[in-house]
Structure 1
Amino acid sequence: MTPVILTLNAGSSSLKFRVFSRDGLVRLAKGAVSRIGGAATLKAGLTGSEEVPVPLAEGADHAVALKGVLDWVMAHGADWQIGAVAHRIVHGGTKYTESTLVTPEVMADLEALIPYAPLHQPHGLEAIRASDALLGHIPDVACFDTAFHTGRDPLFTHFALPPELYEMGVRRYGFHGLSYQWLAHVLETDRPDLARGRVIAAHLGNGASLCALHDGRSVDTTMGMTAVDGVPMGTRSGAVDPGAILLLKRSFGMSLTKIEDLLYNRSGLLGLSGKSNDVAALLADGSETSRFALDYFCMRVAQAAAGLAVSLGGVDALVFTGGIGENAAPIRERVAERLAPLGTFETLVIDANEERMMAMEALRLIG
């Protein structure tokens, strides 16, 4: 039998998976279930092979989606033996500063954090419950997007609010930590000179943030208490004047549910362009609104990077990652142009690989 590690990344209507060999963490397979809750479809393939769609039951939930994934894994890897399931969990709060084996106590703690990540946390926990029901004898590992940012100076974790609110959990946590942890690992392996220096990492995708790293550790980051803060994203607003939110509620009568939907699902590139949250589509469209949306995005990313340069006391390298950061050269160029006042620094592109980072964390924990 070949020992393998399964990684899961659960969204509201999707479940992405990877299979890695335990020996060397070679990726053996990848796939995803889309449209969970509707006409769910699993699309998967072995590494080097075409991904083939497999319809699932209409209205499938995360448990049914995971069952479909496991059936596919068992059918295509007859000699694979799953040794651990690593789950991407958005919020670990202040208690979980590194990946951890899941226990009932851990689950209770993570459920208490749902109000801090209401559109992300529940789906990750649902995937853990489904995994436990289907593979109860196999350890589940929770890998947190917040963990990499723990240990920062209080200057970068506070809001300008009374201290009792900080103690209640109203603080800047930061997210995309698995992506930044992977970048730090790659730099340490391939560019130790930069790893020890001042690096601004830009994780730009449908979700977007930036992180200031020094000596491979998070110093500052653009996301705060929730994953809607910071720079604009595909459909998320990024930072908005809190007074504007109060106005929507008080003067325009918008419910909290509608405001939440606005900030998470109808803003960002989609809201600014009125067309799409897909950068490739906006670049191809070329209309005035599409150009404005992209110019606004690039300006805000550059402004955020300049602010992080202050946090670091300078910058030695700017690293792009994520779907936009890796594939949209015009966006990288526009951001770099706006950062010209910072002087000379190196610009790199490193492919995101949060899943392999999760597999590495799982391997570390199970030994």
Structure 2
Amino acid sequence: MILVVNAGSSSLKVSVYQPDLTRIADGMISNIGTDGVLALDGTKAPVTTADHADALARMLAALAEAGHSAFTAAAHRVVHGGTIVTAPSRITPDVLTDIRGCIPLAPLHNPVNLTAIEALAASHPDLPQYASFDTAFHATIPNVASRYAIPVELHSAGIRRYGFHGLSYANMVHAFGDALPDRLLALHLGNGASLCAIHKGRSVATSMGYSPLSGLTMGTRSGDIDGAAVLRIATDIGPTEADRMLNKDSGLQALAGDNNMKTLLERDDDAAKFAVDHFCYWAARHAGSAIVAMGGVDAVAFTGGIGENAAPIRDRIMEHLACFGDVPVHVVVADEEKQIARDALSLMEAGR
């Protein structure tokens, strides 16, 4: 069995997969560091955890009680691999050093990813561990797309376009298999939203950049905003508050007071209608850019909570894109955890 671990900034999610990639368990601990909830396969219980290492220990105990303890390997989602780790990897001391070196690029996520890896290594020292990186799928983006027009010393310091949701896009490519279109416009639409131009199975452009803040209008993130406006906001309210506001209090939340697309589609007021229009308009605007990067489009695929479940959103975006002709539209179920398990299995088989 493969244990998949996804350590978030204040949560810990796990899934257990059999070798045929059948998922047999799901668990989550929320609000790490305070009073939270431990959920496992439909059951919930209050839990108070000190940190991510404590949360992982409690989750492992709960899994063992449910009969899931004989793991063959563990596989982790790591948010940022920078330009160093651009493919799934067996975790070694060198890979740990690389993940640690990317902390400045993902200060809220890479440290807790490392905590989970190191805690599991301490409790299960003989268990092989693997890592899949959310940025890795976009390592194929050409320099003309990844480079910001800034001084070389800033570029060399790591300020460039990386892109995210890579595990979701990799899972989408696998889902298409041999039927993968040459030029696929892929949209991952959820509370976090992005799109990717996938040409012959490789990312050639994406809407997110140095961070997940840029690109499409999102649930609580602003999406693209002029750098001078960011400087003005940071001057007015301070950089820490500006960061929180742009990531937590913007997007649909700012436009309509709610980041739940289902609720917005059910509302009949002007603010909700405008928020939905804004979301669809900017998704299509960025889609046009991605289509140019591919030299055309053969199909469009939607994934993520909104992409899979909100047909009116898909329809509105496609109405904006009608100028590109009539192209097939697909809906692909998002499954980043399965992609992480798939990556680990591939590495295990290659190293057998």
Per-residue Cα deviation, 1:244-285 (whole angstroms, up to 9, x for no partner): 0111233x2x221111111211111112212x2111122223
Q: 2:28 corresponds to which residue?
A: 32
Note if contact 1:5-1:83 (Cα within 8 Å) is conserved in structure 2. yes
> Where do 4+ consecutive residues of structure 1 move more than 3 Å?
none
Per-residue Cα deviation, 1:181-210 (whole angstroms, up to 9, x for no partner): 11111112xxx34x1411000001111110
Task: Please identify, of 319-328 and 68-77, the stretch whose mean Cα deviation from structure 2 is larger.
Answer: 68-77
SS in 1 for 2:9: coil
Residue 71 of structure 1 aligns with an amino acid whose one-letter code is A
SS in 2 for 1:300: helix
Is 1:157 matched with 2:146? yes
Among 13, 18, 27, the alignment partner of 1:16 is 13
RMSD over equivalenced CA pairs, Å? 1.5
CA distance in 2, matches of 1:138, 1:159: 41
Among 241, 264, 267, the alignment partner of 1:258 is 241
Note if contact 1:117-1:227 (Cα within 8 Å) is conserved in structure 2. no
CA distance in 2, matches of 1:37, 1:293: 34
Q: 1:48 corresponds to which residue?
A: none
CA distance in 2, matches of 1:54, 1:135: 25
Task: Please identify, of 296-305 and 145-154, the stretch whose mean Cα deviation from structure 2 is larger.
Answer: 145-154
Among 274, 297, 305, the alignment partner of 2:279 is 297
Residue 244 of structure 2 aligns with an amino acid whose one-letter code is D
SS in 2 for 1:82: coil
Task: Please identify, of 306-315 and 228-237, the stretch whose mean Cα deviation from structure 2 is larger.
Answer: 228-237
Among 49, 53, 57, the alignment partner of 1:63 is 53
Is 1:214 matched with 2:199? yes
Q: 1:118 corresponds to which residue?
A: 107
Q: 1:283 corresponds to which residue?
A: 265
Q: 1:72 corresponds to which residue?
A: 62
CA distance in 1, matches of 2:326, 2:305: 25
Among 210, 224, 231, the alignment partner of 1:246 is 231
How many equivalent residue pairs? 349
Q: 1:268 corresponds to which residue?
A: 251
CA distance in 1, matches of 2:104, 2:242: 15
Among 308, 332, 337, the alignment partner of 2:319 is 337
Per-residue Cα deviation, 1:34-84 (whole angstroms, up to 9, x for no partner): 222222111111xxxxx110222x244212221222112111225x51111
Note if contact 2:140-2:202 (Cα within 8 Å) is conserved in structure 1. no
Of all paired residues, the percent bearing the same amino acid is 45
Q: 2:44 corresponds to which residue?
A: 53
CA distance in 1, matches of 2:281, 2:212: 20
SS in 1 for 2:194: strand
Is 1:322 matched with 2:304? yes
Per-residue Cα deviation, 1:266-318 (whole angstroms, up to 9, x for no partner): 111112212x2111122223322122111101111111111111111111111
CA distance in 1, matches of 2:123, 2:36: 19
Residue 255 of structure 2 aligns with an amino acid whose one-letter code is L
Q: 1:82 corresponds to which residue?
A: 71
User: Structure 2 vs 1, CA of residues 327 and 196 (structure 1 numbering), >3 Å: closer, same or farther?
Assistant: closer
* CA shift for structure 1 position 366: 2.5
Per-residue Cα deviation, 1:138-178 (whole angstroms, up to 9, x for no partner): 12211101111112221111111223322221111111111
CA distance in 2, matches of 1:291, 1:123: 38
Q: TM-score, normalised by structure 1?
A: 0.91
**Which structure 2 segments of 5+ residues have no match?**
none
User: Structure 2 vs 1, CA of residues 123 and 286 (structure 1 numbering), >3 Å: closer, same or farther?
Assistant: farther
Note if contact 2:82-2:102 (Cα within 8 Å) is conserved in structure 1. yes
Residue 352 of structure 1 aligns with an amino acid whose one-letter code is A
* CA shift for structure 1 position 324: 0.8
SS in 2 for 1:142: strand
Among 193, 212, 218, the alignment partner of 1:227 is 212
CA distance in 1, matches of 2:337, 2:346: 14
Note if contact 1:174-1:221 (Cα within 8 Å) is conserved in structure 2. yes
